[in-house]
Amino acid sequence: MAQQVQAHMMLSLDGFGTGLNQTRERPFGSVDPSQLGRWMFEDADNNRAELTAITNYGAFIMGRNMFAAPGPDVWELEWKGWWGPNPPYHAPVFVLTHYARPAIEMEGGTTFHFVTEGQEVALARAREAAGERDVAVAGGVSTTRHYLNSGAIEQLHLQIAPVIIGAGERLWDGLTAKLDPVGARPTRFATHMDYRVVKA
Amino acid sequence: MAQQVQAHMMLSLDGFGTGLNQTRERPFGSVDPSQLGRWMFEDADNNRAELTAITNYGAFIMGRNMFAAPGPDVWELEWKGWWGPNPPYHAPVFVLTHYARPAIEMEGGTTFHFVTEGQEVALARAREAAGERDVAVAGGVSTTRHYLNSGAIEQLHLQIAPVIIGAGERLWDGLTAKLDPVGARPTRFATHMDYRVVKA
């Protein structure tokens, strides 16, 4: 089977992936992360398949704010982001940023590469690095929306947590990709929803 | 089993049940109704259970705009609303409105009652009329949100059509009810999502 690009994202009922005012101490911004992530933190056994799927890729692409807190314009190089010493990716992760920094090799096989040449270059590098495995777009909202609209993504996997956030970045605002429902499964703290992106 | 109040609603991915500029000729406003309703119009056989459930109640409550186009302040009495001579309800339907008009008995057992005394009176009348059967809140968005927030509704059944509308009334804006995911099923043109309302 040909290599695919897939995206995974947790959303609130009102379509937000994070809140406003994301900081180093608050990766989800003004959202209590336990609101969106209870399905993985408190009900992991019943969500094992989806949890495994999220990190089962040959390479990943993420927006800068998925790696570390927004701005200042220069990196605080001593901080290696939100994911801790042994990130869950265990594969190359291409971080979109305007500010170059050297790649960081973490424990467990994750290497963060910082791509300043734009989304298409990041995609090409991730495809190459993944070999015969699939590539995942790992968020955030604007990065996922870009790759959905550009036609790069074949499958979108959502976890819809039954919470209202009310402010932040909404995945649906500006989304032009056409989606076909292909999967859905309720669990205690989130409903899994799977879509295939319709090829133009 | 005790009488329940349940609500059914079709929503876009971005949470809208209708668009703006609803008129007599355009019950869904600026939304092409085929966008939200394809699952019932084009794929009825695969959605038979959900279609049957929507009208399988002892009584219904709906907002005025679910019965007929918004304003003028007086009813055009010769027009009996959007639902045609034989509406799908086959039971009493309590329409919330600020403007009294006599009840209308339609073919097939549907009678539209116009309630000017507010949402709690409409609920009490619908509960009484339904006897031992359940009561349905049949929309629109603000009516459903009111009864969700007031604690009247036990179950919420959504059809999420894979379309973006971008403007109109969003169910989630101002929703304070807490929802537990209890069901989900993908079909070609919509994903069915069922929630139980958490009792405060």
The 10s digit of each residue's pLDDT in B188-197 is 999 999 999 9
Q: Does residue B77 sit within a domain? A: no
Q: How far apart are CA B12 and CA B7, in angstroms?
A: 16
Residues of A in contact with B187 (CB under 8 A): 181
Contact B170 A194 (CB under 8 A): no
The count of domains in chain B is: 1
Contact A184 B188 (CB under 8 A): no
**Host H or E run for residue B7:** strand B5-12
Minimum distance, in Å, between the CA of residue B163 and any CA atom of chain A: 7
Using CB atoms, pick whichever of B15, B162, B182 lies closest to residue A195: B162
Q: What is the mean pLDDT of residues B151-178?
A: 95
Q: Does residue A79 sit within a domain? A: no
Contact A162 B15 (CB under 8 A): no
Q: Does residue A78 sit within a domain? A: no
Torsion of CA B10, B13, B19, B20, to 10 degrees: 140
Residues of chain A with pLDDT under 50: none
pLDDT at A20 (0 to 100): 67
Minimum distance, in Å, between the CA of residue A200 and any CA atom of chain B: 15
Q: What is the mean pLDDT of chain B?
A: 92
Contact A173 B188 (CB under 8 A): no
B191-197 and B155-161 as β-strands: parallel, antiparallel, unpaired? antiparallel
pLDDT at B82 (0 to 100): 87
Residues of A in contact with B176 (CB under 8 A): 164
Interchain CB contacts (distance < 8 Å): A and B: 76
Contact A162 B180 (CB under 8 A): yes
Contact B181 A162 (CB under 8 A): yes
Give chain B's end-to-end CA distance (angstroms, integer): 21
Q: Does residue A75 sit within a domain? A: no
Contact B173 A14 (CB under 8 A): yes
pLDDT at B81 (0 to 100): 87
Is the per-residue pLDDT at B183 higher than 70? yes
CATH code for position A97: 3.40.430.10
The 10s digit of each residue's pLDDT in B111-133 is 999 999 999 999 999 999 999 99
Domain span including residue B57: 5-15+28-70+86-197
Q: Does residue A176 sit within a domain? A: yes
Instruction: With cut-offs at 50, 70 and 90, classify the pLDDT of residue B137.
Output: very high
Instruction: Determine the residue of chain A that is closest to B188 in CA distance.
Output: A181
**Host H or E run for residue A49:** helix A48-54
Residues of A in contact with B195 (CB under 8 A): 162
Q: Does residue A126 sit within a domain? A: yes
Q: Does residue A76 sit within a domain? A: no
Q: Does residue B37 sit within a domain? A: yes
Question: What share of chain B in percent tops pLDDT 90?
Answer: 77
The 10s digit of each residue's pLDDT in B21-80 is 677 777 777 777 678 899 999 999 999 999 999 999 999 999 998 998 776 667 888 888
Question: In Å, what is the CA distance from B40 to each residue of A178, B33, B104?
Answer: 19, 11, 27
What is this model's ipTM?
0.89
